[in-house]
Structure 1
Amino acid sequence: MLYPEHGFFDRFGAAAADGFRGVEYVSPYEYEPTAIAELLVRHGLSQALFNMPAGDWAAGERGLACLPGRQDEFAAGVDTVIAYARALDCRQVNCLAGIIPTGAGRAECEAVLVRNLALAAERLGAAGIRVLLEPINQRDMPGYAVSTTDQAEAILAQVGSDNLWLQYDFYHLQIMQGDLLTNFERLQGRIAHVQVADVPGRHEPGTGEINYIRVFEALERLGYDGWVGAEYRPAAGTSAGLGWMRGR
């Protein structure tokens, strides 16, 4: 979401120049993995995360995992993920649960989600890759299958795999439930990745209502040692808005 003024390949150099040590993005599948891997090496960057195949994004799909009748497509996507993750030396991927289709029942979709996550957790775990599940708010993605930490915990319990983790996005969870730091501390043992943006607007930390000074202090105090992904829409240019990252 950062550096929209640049094409995809040019964003790697821009991120490195601004002091980022890793990158993440919605989808690498439009590009050859060797081309992305070369950019990572050239700019000294790590691949922190990418999403599993999400279906037809332009048509409004936001993940395949909960969609009845798409299980074979989901399973084929696992093979694709393994190939890209190995090429990019990426150790974790986010599984977008998807939007519950019109006319489908939540119980049916949840059952499909649980089976697909179990498959992904097993096969990706054998390849040394973590699978993450992210609650996403209903304002930005109406009908999304997993929107709160309570829902995510219930899914994790049903799957029952030690290779299924939480992606904790402070922006989505502020909209849906708040109590950000209490829930983070309670769930920290299952959290593998953090993302930040402020509310409202989904702009830089410090532009809205979330006290990110307290958030970052808490991550440090609690010993969180994973990535913090800057998943926001720059309010007035990416580089100009990085004061939050540089302590000013």
Structure 2
Amino acid sequence: MIDIDRLAANLGWLFTELPFAQRFDAAAAAGFTAVEYADPYPFPAAELQRRLTDAGLVQVLINSPQRGTGTACVPEHIAEFRAGLALALGYAVELGASFLHVPAGIRPAHLSRDRAFACYVANIAWAAQQARDTGVRIVLEAQNKQDKPGFLLDDQAHAAAAVAAIGADHVGLLLDVYHARHDEPDVLAALREFLPRTWHVQIADVPGRGEPGTGDIPWPEVFALLEAHRGWIGCEYRPSSPTGLGWLR
């Protein structure tokens, strides 16, 4: 079984019975030593950093800001993408985040897949240059076709292809076991193939995106693979209310 010291509480999904500002202390009280969340931007970075420090927590990951269905793969929105990326890097540096997830976004109907992919790769290559001396690493994630129809990176191979096309030593995969279970014929085979290129993992069960043990993912085998991986594991699931960690025991 995975040690809780490797688990990061996703404060966008866990402890939602509390106001966001109170979730840091709740995560620490539950035994977490790290947190992640997609959207820090409603709050000043200094305030979030203070809450991290007061709770004794490490910030693992944030997302770059998203407008609508996303700007990262749309050539008409390059200037907006770059402004958002600069904002995100500033937050990531101030919070001490290890990773910045830059979502690919939904491909507009008028845009070919090849052109959208080329735009995304070029934008991430530019982002990698901006992040080179910050200590922040960029991660790219596939999202499943059922929850996110039209998402540009719609399986693990597409996400891995984007990482390979960029070729920077500080761009890697974010592998979400929930998304992988939807789109891969064999989730364990997918983990064996893509974990060597993965820097951050997120977990939730299928169906329902609940906590591990509420669906059909073979968690003992998954956790055995993740034990060898040794990176952070983000808990991005919809928990039983109130939030608990009974599944871990």
1:243 to 228, 234, 246: 246
Alignment of 1:126-137 (within 5 A): 126-137=133-144
1:17 to 9, 12, 29: 29
What do you get for the CA RMSD once the two structures are aligned?
1.3
Provide the residue aligned with 2:100 in structure 1. 93
Q: Paired residues, what number?
A: 237
Letter in 2 for 1:192: W
Question: What per-residue deviation string (whole Å, max 9, x for no partner) do you get for residues 7-56 of structure 1?
Answer: 11111111111111111111101110000000000001000101011123
Question: What per-residue deviation string (whole Å, max 9, x for no partner) do you get for residues 46-95 of structure 1?
Answer: 00101011123xxxx2x321122111111112221221112111121111
Identical columns (%) = 40
Secondary structure, aligned partner of 1:69: helix
Partners of 1:192 and 1:226 within 8 A in 2: yes
Q: Aligned partners of 2:197, 2:26: CA distance in 1, in Å? A: 32
Letter in 2 for 1:232: Y
Partners of 1:132 and 1:192 within 8 A in 2: yes
Q: Aligned partners of 1:99, 1:119: CA distance in 2, in Å? A: 20
Once the two structures are overlaid, the 10-residue window that deviates more, 176-185 or 152-161, is 176-185
1:127 shift after superposition = 1.4
Question: Greater relative contact order (Cα 8 A, min sep 6): structure 1 or 2?
Answer: 2
> Structure 2, unaligned stretches of length 5 or more?
1-12
Partners of 1:174 and 1:199 within 8 A in 2: yes
Alignment of 1:184 onto 2:159: no
Partners of 2:73 and 2:116 within 8 A in 1: yes
Question: What per-residue deviation string (whole Å, max 9, x for no partner) do you get for residues 209-234 of structure 1?
Answer: 001122112221x2x22111110111
1:243 shift after superposition = 1.1
Letter in 1 for 2:233: V
Q: Aligned partners of 1:3, 1:13: CA distance in 2, in Å? A: 10
Greater than 4 Å deviation, 4+ residue runs: none
Question: What per-residue deviation string (whole Å, max 9, x for no partner) do you get for residues 126-176 of structure 1?
Answer: 212100000000111111000111111221222222221000100000001
Provide the residue aligned with 1:173 in structure 2. 180
Provide the residue aligned with 1:78 in structure 2. 85
Alignment of 1:143-182 (within 5 A): 143-182=150-189
Provide the residue aligned with 1:48 in structure 2. 60
Q: Aligned partners of 2:237, 2:134: CA distance in 1, in Å? A: 30
Alignment of 1:102 onto 2:109: yes
Provide the residue aligned with 2:210 in structure 1. 203
Q: Normalising by structure 1, report the TM-score.
A: 0.91
Partners of 1:196 and 1:228 within 8 A in 2: yes
